[in-house]
Structure 1
Amino acid sequence: MRSFKPLAALLVATTVLCVGVAARVPVSAMPGYQLDIEEWIRTGRIADTFTPLAYPLFAGSAYRLGHNHGILAAQILLHLAMVLMAYLILRELRVSPLRSALGSLPIALSPDLLLAVTKVWDFALSTFVMLLLVLCFLKIANRRGFAGWGLTIASGAAFGFAMASRANLIILLPVAVVLFFVIGRSAAKSIVATGAAVFLVVAFSGFAMVGIASHGSVFIPRNGPYNLYAGHNPYTIEEMIQYENGEPSIRPAITPTYSGLSSDDMYAHSLEPFYMQQAEHFIVHNPGTEIKLLGVKLFTLLRPDTKVQPLHSGGGMAKAVLALPVPIFLAMLLLTGRRALLPVDWLLILVETLYVVPFLITNSDPRFRSPLDAVLLLHSVSLLDRYLKRRAPASVSAEA
């Protein structure tokens, strides 16, 4: 019972914080999500498939139950679920209950995640699904032999919902499949292969079900060509440095061919072939610029998000602090040393690295970093915990 006390205290404190934020901060909505939610509530179907629709489905269902209060309640529960995922990840990494609760506090107290309780957008959901996938990976990795049917099906369902929330998370799918075979080496090959197949079937079935529930049919989000062009045109570097996102580069890049387009027009299905063709042409004919773009995109992803508050302001300084998980993680790697890394650390490093890749290929923005920050912070806590455990016997011996 004692081991549950730190978790209970963590969840109670987090609940109080979330309720306090919900009581003091008014609800605000990103226009696109607001329109999607209203359309789903009105018709039961969202026609536009430019972006993933898992969040509008989540928020729309909550709104049907209790209007804005329903969304607030659902997003408080989502924040609590994130904190629970953080705690369970640290427990899977063999961190003690007390240290797991303390190590989850950066997730619970994150200003961006707390304020997301009253914002109608997918920021918190993206972080939650990333933590959910990492927890599934760790549970599979900590098994000996076949992962088991319950974990296999649950992991597949989690992956399906994650892909419906953030399509670029499909890049982690091979990690899950390979993990089944690596962990299942001692089990019968037929069982492991069947388990991997069931995982894939459940994952893609879950993805399809979210599409049917939100759009009326299975779909793949259409924003791929748009984001690819945002990341590969003559104005990308200039606009990305200035606006911390490549999207503003699309208008000057497209104007010579399509002038007078509104912002909504640039999301049109008819422009997708143009975006693909022009992006491919730019990549092939500008190899030097493409190398520079990799650095600019990585810098943009990792820099403080100062689009609203300048860096020298109080809000900007807070954003600078929120950008520290990457240097903290690198410092912990240096502190612990490569020899101290376990196979599970390399698994997490692989997941963390793969998460970055889509943003180097397409478009980048500091707000895309939140799921990565959460995983890096928890990984850092695990490394610090292991370092302190190694130091403790040495300290006792020295005192003796």
Structure 2
Amino acid sequence: MKVVGLMSGTSHDAVDAAAAELTLDGAGDTLRLVPLGMVSAPYEDALRRALAAALPPSPTTMADVCRLDTRIGQAFAALAVRADRELCGGRAELIASHGQTVYHWASGGRVHGTLQLGRPAWIAEATGCPVVSDFRPGDVAAGGQGAPLVSLIDTMLLRGRPGVPTALNIGGIANLTALPATGPAVAFDTGPGNALMDAAVHAATSGRAGYDADGALAARGRVVPALLRRLLDEPYYRLPAPKTTGKELFHSGYLRTALDGFDSLTPPDLLATLTRLTARTVADALRPLGATEVVASGGGTRNPVLMSMLREELAAGTALLDSGALGLPAAEKEAYAFAVLGFLTLHGLPGNAPECTGARGPRVLGSLTPGRRPLRLPPVPARAPLSLVVGRG
């Protein structure tokens, strides 16, 4: 089955579409993924500004939410059509859309709700294909954190690797999945990935830049120990797993509060400190797990200063490699992951890892929006696949 996975992360700068050919082997134990490539498109400036203006801690209206739901859905639909044409030769059979997270309602160590925008009807109408969307609420309703949902794909991909392999994704928020030598898999959000760095760059450039390209600002600065200590006092880092967070906590207002008393701080020093914060909190989360290998993906891997600091912070002997070494390029992995989750949903198979999210059990995730053709569901396999093998056609 040819599936297009659509994703826009917490940095809300662009939409990614990765196409894959997915096949269950005869015994049903292994899911084979053949990558067909990825296309990406930035949000139009007006849409990105409207989205940023509606995110916490800013107030918004139901009218704004309705407009964003439609316009994000249309942006996803346009890219899905392009991905089907350019990557699948017009033969895509399913679209899996994560949508755009605009709010993750977490408090007291629990997640009470989650909201992703990008109305799937626009995607189904534009492509003619059925669309699986709204993956996270099913896990939340079952008592889970609703994140990181990629933990299921991570466990399938890492299973069988030696030592304690760990997958790390550094987007706006950083998350990890680890397979300990004994016991179940562990997954959680470690804290800010790029979120605070992006907020600092946006403020320093009056909105002209949205991120620290190639870590250029951080490379010119020095870490400010007093500020780093203040930032590390954040209670979230000490919460037990499973746990999840987002820009509801780590936003521009959070950063302004943390900078109280640091009036003479230069942008390079601030970026160096925030970059070290991300590296330190990731490494602090990995250390108790005994990680022997870290397979990294996400936009943060394109920041050489961050990756250098992470290498410095990791325990001696812990290997750090790009997810491309496992066949899924770092910039594309999450979009491929949601293509897999959509495939599982269509086949009536669970899409969460309860031991990672804290849900009461495995659940088939998402809502299904029919396309223009009659909807025909495939038979449900006898069992869910345990491993994911990335190959070539």
Structure number with higher relative contact order (C-alpha < 8 Å, ≥ 6 residues apart):
2
> Which category of TM-score, normalised to the shorter sequence, fits these structures?
under 0.3
Indicate the structure (1 or 2) with the bigger Cα radius of gyration: 1
- Structure with bigger strand share is 2
TM-score, normalised to structure 1's length? Answer: 0.25
- Structure with bigger helix share is 1
